[in-house]
Structure 1
Amino acid sequence: MIDMKRLALLAAVALGSTTASAAGQQWPPAGVSYQGDPVAPDIAGLWMGTALGIPGQGVASNSGKSADGRSPSYWSPWPLPYTPAYQKIYDDRVAAAKKGVQLGDISSKCLPFGMPTMIASMNYPHEIVQTPGQVTFYEFGTFPITVWTDGRPHPADLKPSYNGHSIGHWEGDTLVVDTVAIMPTTSLDSHRDPHSGKLHVKWTVRRVAPDVLHTSITLYDDEAFTEPVTMTNIAQRKTDPKWALLDDQSCFENNQDVAPPDKASGFIKF
């Protein structure tokens, strides 16, 4: 038999843990609804931006077009306005790539793509899910991006991570996002362009038409760049089932970009 009193007590404890922090502060902050903005625009759905392949069918060669025929987006200004130190890092990576070596490609070591690659180079469709207090971006083969929209600030004691920490709010029909604390080992995009640990990403997401989504990105990094760098990623809504295969692939299986098993224990090739 279900003990209803015990269930009620557990529910009360759980509720209390979500409304107060360990320091005893109210959470969410006073005046901020956990439900978020009830009239927030709907950007949920399956979208594809600078894609190179169709899920389940492999990645197409980078011919300058996405899988459905559209041209991908690019950074501006171009060439990237690197400082001398980071221009050398970039040049070294370009030279290595011509020899078949991808420097700065942490994904070949089965590490997460991280930011800002996840919003700048969308090799497969991504799904946006809106829930109370947050907007979540799910992408192929890596961790999702959580954008907190419940009023919380960036934590004061943030440690760098692959995705960084993102907070956002709505300005009219536009989701405005601020991302900080990104690990310097991630790349700007699938071309492995470098950045420093000072990278600060400000980006917006706006549904400009029923089936068109604009993600505008601005990068601030005064160690790596001499001026801000921008991009607008134009995504199309996908409804055909072939685009909905958000695989839970493991990079460790059949990864051809890492050393042989005797030099990289744990990787499986077949």
Structure 2
Amino acid sequence: MKTFVKAVSVAAVIVVGAPLLFAQWPSFPTPDVPKAADGKPDLSAPAPKMPDGKPDLSGLWENGPLGFGPQEPSAAGQPPLATFFDVGAGFKEGLPLRPWAAELLKKRREDHSKDNPDAHCLPMGLLQFHEHPQPRKIVQTPKLIVIIYEANYGLRQIFLDGRPLPNNDPQPWWYGYSVGKWEGDTLVVETTGLIDGGWLDIIGSPLTDQAKITERFRRLNFGTLQIDVTIDDPKAYTRPFTVRFNQRLTLNEELIEFICNENEQSAKHLLGKDVAALSASFELDPKVFDTYAGRYQLAPGTFATFSRDGSRFFAQFGNSPPFEIFAASQREFFLRVIDTRFTFEVDASGRATAVVVHTDADRRAPRVP
């Protein structure tokens, strides 16, 4: 199946996510999938049940497109949709941060999220896992749910055997300690015991060791899983807030092995605010950008788009947001947030025919109509 290279920060999404890797296990059909009259899978069919009558959340689930803002407008009275980059993007006034937490978020953003745990092959927080473009598999039994995340090959346990949350466990956990119970067709999961200094999203919205996370899992139909997550962290936020994640079932696929530290080439390219500020740009007539603007194919179905906005030049990879790039010479450009450069190849008329992306390796992308 298609898998995304880890998007470790806003900047790394551009560079690491640009040359998407394609890998797959041998194909095997998902069993017991309901069929519509035309013989195709009917993902709108009723959700399956466990032998005890509880909804069966099992399956391979993935998110929708990446983005900064909500993927779609929320209905009145419903929680806003969270996004991979900014969990609070759907709140008009932003997250209810305490002053120190707002300063920490500002610093993390100014440092281009270079200290995000995912950027260094450390475990992500639960919300980053919910948001991550790489899929996750839910394995359900009456007393235990296990969630296997392709991203960083994470593993999480949710205990359904009636045990309480620990009262005074001195050992903090990256994923916390989770217990769940059924309220009708909704699985309510409470998690505490989290490590301090956590990240809710790519930009670095804080999470502390005082947080309690409450998740409400509902399988709306065979192909849709809805998760409402409430963050109650009085140390970092002035009040609790709730966001929603919508996930869709993936058929005939499996998780692939993802070993983050194997040939890890990303962290050394991440630049903080102070280092990025040292990069000086070359004065170039903005009209030159027009000769380079266009789409370039990095891989089958994967494109880089370069565009001019007045006197500024931007690069965008896939569904990632556009990022400004700066001229180092007539044909060479660079990012200030990460150690990456671009060289445009031109024909005799001066029109760009390809771009070479220089990161840990050189990747040539021909221009397409």
Decide: shared fold, TM above 0.5.
Answer: yes
What TM-score results when the alignment is normalised by the length of structure 1?
0.69
Q: Tell me which residue corresponds to 1:188.
A: 200
Are residues 106 and 258 of structure 1, via their aligned partners in 2, closer, same or farther at CA, if it must alter by over 3 Å?
farther
Q: Tell me which residue corresponds to 2:63.
A: 49
Task: Provide the identity percentage.
Answer: 25
Q: In the alignment, does 2:165 pair up with 1:154?
A: yes
Larger Rg: 2
- 8 Å CA contact 2:82–2:244 kept in 1: the answer is no
Alignment partner of 2:245 out of 225, 228, 233:
233
Give the letter for the 1:40 counterpart: K
> Quick one: distance in 1 between partners of 2:228 and 2:240?
13
Quote the RMSD (CA, aligned, Å). 2.6
Q: Which has the higher strand share?
A: 2
**1:165 Cα deviation from its structure 2 partner:** 0.2
* Structure 1 alignment gaps of length 5 or more: 1-35, 53-61, 261-268
What TM-score results when the alignment is normalised by the length of structure 2?
0.51
> Quick one: distance in 2 between partners of 1:185 and 1:224?
10
Q: In the alignment, does 2:110 pair up with 1:95?
A: yes
User: The residue matched to 1:85 in structure 2 has which SS?
Assistant: helix
Alignment partner of 2:137 out of 127, 137, 153:
127
**1:83 Cα deviation from its structure 2 partner:** 0.4
- 8 Å CA contact 1:114–1:163 kept in 2: the answer is yes
- 8 Å CA contact 2:109–2:204 kept in 1: the answer is no
**1:148 Cα deviation from its structure 2 partner:** 0.3
Are residues 115 and 94 of structure 1, via their aligned partners in 2, closer, same or farther at CA, if it must alter by over 3 Å?
same
**1:43 Cα deviation from its structure 2 partner:** 1.1
- 8 Å CA contact 1:162–1:182 kept in 2: the answer is yes
- Cα deviation per residue 1:220-260 (whole Å; 9 max; x = unaligned)? 0111111112111001111143xx23323233422321479
> Quick one: distance in 1 between partners of 2:248 and 2:55?
17
- 8 Å CA contact 1:170–1:176 kept in 2: the answer is yes
> Quick one: distance in 2 between partners of 1:157 and 1:72?
31
> Quick one: distance in 2 between partners of 1:63 and 1:204?
23
- 8 Å CA contact 2:105–2:203 kept in 1: the answer is no
Structure with the bigger RCO (C-alpha within 8 Å, sep 6+) is 1
Instruction: Map residues 165-176 of structure 1 onto 2, 5 A cutoff.
Output: 165-176=177-188
Give the letter for the 2:264 counterpart: N
Q: In the alignment, does 2:146 pair up with 1:136?
A: yes
> Quick one: distance in 2 between partners of 1:103 and 1:249?
20
Q: In the alignment, does 2:229 pair up with 1:214?
A: no
- Cα deviation per residue 1:19-54 (whole Å; 9 max; x = unaligned)? xxxxxxxxxxxxxxxxx98221111101112554xx
* Structure 2 alignment gaps of length 5 or more: 1-49, 72-80, 271-359, 362-369
Are residues 113 and 189 of structure 1, via their aligned partners in 2, closer, same or farther at CA, if it must alter by over 3 Å?
same
Count of matched residue pairs:
207
